[in-house]
Each structure stands twice: as structure tokens, then as C-alpha cells.
Amino acid sequence: MMPRLVSFTMIAVAWLATSVSAATFNIIDYGATPNDDSDDTVAVAKALAACGAVGGGTVFVPAGTFIITRQGAESPILMVPSNTTLCGEGAASILQYPKRASESNFWRMLGHGPEGVRNVTIRDLHLDGGNTHPAYVKGVPEHNHGIFLYAKEAIVENVVVEKLLIENFSGDCVAVGYGCRNITIRDVAMRNFLRQGIQMGGGNGARDYLVTDCHDLEHSIEPGGSTIHVEHARGLQNVQIIANRCRRSLLAGGVDGLLIRDNVVSGRIEGNGNTNFLVAGNVVRGNAGATRPLMQFGYADGLIVRDNILRAAPESTQTGIYIWGKSRYNANPSRDVSVSGNLICCGETGISLNGVDGATIGSNRIRIPEGKKDVAVSRAENVVIEQTGTSEKSASAKP
């Protein structure tokens, strides 16, 4: 009889676990009403709380527009519990701020409680921040975010954000920072963000971020920041930024273990203070009137730049790749640098090293105007230039 008892117990436990994981909480059942002027915040919060009370499940947002507002001083407004999938029917399932959100700050739509969160998926939704500002200027409410993951004294772990449309936020579409570990942001479309599209930071052991297949749509306002941005890294480790399409540049700094690969970028790729850093297979197109280098990296310690295509706009005076260190702000040089296999078409120097200790410049294809330098080196030590016969000079300044 004992084996049968054990078997029955195992089946019961498995059934219970399946029932919990399969539990679905439709926000309509908690009082949310689509496509009207009523405030649906409390109803959505009740559905999330009910899901958390049974240990997790799925909170479902059906097609329609649901109004979300800040009820008091809470931040975030909606707290997703552990072991939960928050999902809808794609772009037709809209969580939307009213326009008055643009008049005040710290409206953060989705996040977690002070205890942190684990094992969460947010997918197939449309988040609308209701922004009314036409451009970023000092004083706008720049902390109104779509998704906000940030825990100074807790852990945010195993979170997947995917298949979302996020638009019209006067802050960031997605912000990730303190305490975040194993975060995946995949297939997210963004539009009309005033600050950053995807903002990543570190602190409290933050590590292991993947951003892939994300892009910003054509904007009808003037964003103030980048499509993808890493700053305030505070010891952040292991960030992969792969196969994204960026209309507003890609900037990333302060990371130990950073991979920027196979992205298509309008503007520039820039990063300072990175260690163990690989930049490979990207396509970067400069913007008309731009003057900063197409790629710029400072204070790097272990940097490989290879197999990228860099093309400045016609009449541009942009440098192709600029690697630097030893400034009045920081005495450290960039160290252990390798640059090879790149195609560079620009209006100034192809590759410029300034304040570098230890670099190898391999074979690169460089097309620049007559009178400009393929490679320029200043304030540098232990530099080996292997490049031969791969440059093309033109009497025209057009790259």
C-alpha cells in the first residue's frame, strides 16, 4: 500500500502545482471596463493581488483601453507579484494614462513591491503614457516610466518583457536598475519617449541583462535620449545588446562584460568605462549634421571592435572610431584594444586613438576624403598598426 500512497501523493502535488500555475485572473472579473472614461487602476490591482495570493498565475488584459492613474504616492502604480504572467491580446490590449499624467512626476505604470519579485513575464500588451510634451526640456516630468524594475534592498530576478508596444512616456519606456538579475527584454517596439527607450543601470548585485530584437518606431515628438542606454552601472555585469534597431543611438557605459552585436543604429554607438567589451557586426549610419564620432569608447579595459560597418552622412565631418583615455577627469588610459575588419566611410579620421596603452589596429577598409588620416595616434603607448593597403582617398568630402 505504501507505494500507492506515495504515488497518489505525488499526483496530488503535481495537480496542485499545475492548478496554481494555470490560474487565470481576467481584469474584467475584478471590475475593469474597457473603452470608457472610468478608472480601471483598482480593478487591475485587485486582479494582480488575487494572483499573488495563490502563489502566481496569469493576469489577463483583454482587448480594449483601460485607464490607469496614480492613486496617491505609490510607485509603481501596479505591482506584479512573483510567478506571474501579465499578458493581453497584443497591441489591442491597452493600459493607458490620461493626459494629466504629463503634469506631474513619478507615474511608473508597472513594477513590483518592496519585497522584490521573481519569475515574471510581461507580454502582449500596449502601454501608453499619455505624454503631451513635444520635446524633452528641463523640468518635464522625466520619471514617468512604462515598466520600472528597481530594488535597492531586494532582488528582482528572472523577468521577461516581450512583445510589447510602449509609447508616449515622458520618462523611459523600460527602466531596469538596482537589484535586477537575469532580465530579458525582447521584441519591444517603442515610440515617443522623452528620455530613453530602454534604460539600464546597476547596483545591489545587478547582472545578466539581454536586450534583443527591440526597436523604436518613427517618432512624432523629439526624444531627448537614446533608444538603448546604460548608465549608473554601479558594478553591473554581463549585458548583451543584440540585433536591435535604434533610431536614437545606442549608449552603454560602466559594464564589466558588455556585448554590442548585430545592431542597426542611426546616430552613434558610444560607451565609456567598460571592461571586457566586444563591439561586433553592427551597422551605424551617421545623422546629417552630426559631429561626434560614429563609434566612441573611453577608458576601456579590454576592447575588441571588429566587423562593423560605419557610414557617415554626406558632407559629414565625423570621425569613424575614436578610442580615448587619460583625460583631466580620469588618468586611466584605455587598455588592451583591438580594432580590425571594419568598413569605415567618414569625413574625418578613420580611426583615432588618444590616451591608449596597448592597441592593435588590424586590417580595416577605410574611405575618407583626401588629406585626412586613416589612423591617428596621440598620447598613446604600445600601439601596433598592421593595416596596409586597405584605404581609399577621395577628393570629395562625401563618404
| Residues β-bridged to residue 93 | 64
Give the integer Cα–Cα distance in Å for 325 and 89: 49
Taken as a whole, the chain contains a residue count of: 399
Dihedrals phi, psi of 366, to nearest 5 degrees: -125, 130
The residue among 185, 179, 186, 184 whose CA lies nearest residue 201 is 179
Domain coordinates in residue numbering, the chain: 22-266, 271-399
Q: Which one-letter amino acid corresponds to residue 97?
A: Y
| Residues β-bridged to residue 160 | 121, 184
DSSP state for residue 292 in the 8-state scheme: S
| Residue 44: strand, helix, or coil | helix
Q: CA 324 from chain center: how many Å? A: 25
What pLDDT score does 2 carry?
44
Give the integer Cα–Cα distance in Å for 124 and 89: 6
Tens-digit pLDDT string for the chain (399 aa): 444 444 444 444 444 444 445 699 999 999 999 999 999 999 999 999 999 999 999 999 999 999 999 999 899 999 999 999 999 999 999 999 999 999 999 999 999 999 999 999 999 999 999 999 999 988 889 999 999 999 999 999 999 999 999 999 999 999 999 999 999 999 999 999 999 999 999 999 999 999 999 999 999 999 999 999 999 999 999 999 999 999 999 999 999 999 999 999 999 999 999 999 999 999 999 999 999 999 999 999 999 999 999 999 998 999 999 999 998 889 999 999 999 999 999 999 999 999 999 999 999 999 999 999 999 999 999 999 986 545 666 544 444
Q: Give the CATH fold of the 22-266 domain.
A: Pectate Lyase C-like (2.160.20)
Cβ neighbours for 72, distance < 8 A, ≥ 6 positions apart: none
Cβ neighbours for 222, distance < 8 A, ≥ 6 positions apart: 134, 135, 136
Dihedrals phi, psi of 96, to nearest 5 degrees: -135, 135
Give the integer Cα–Cα distance in Å for 270 and 303: 13
Cβ neighbours for 204, distance < 8 A, ≥ 6 positions apart: 151, 152, 153, 155, 178, 179, 234
Helical H runs in 190-284?
none
Query: 57 near 22, Cβ under 8 Å?
Result: yes
What pLDDT score does 396 carry?
45
CA dihedral in degrees (88, 94, 100, 106; nearest 10)?
30
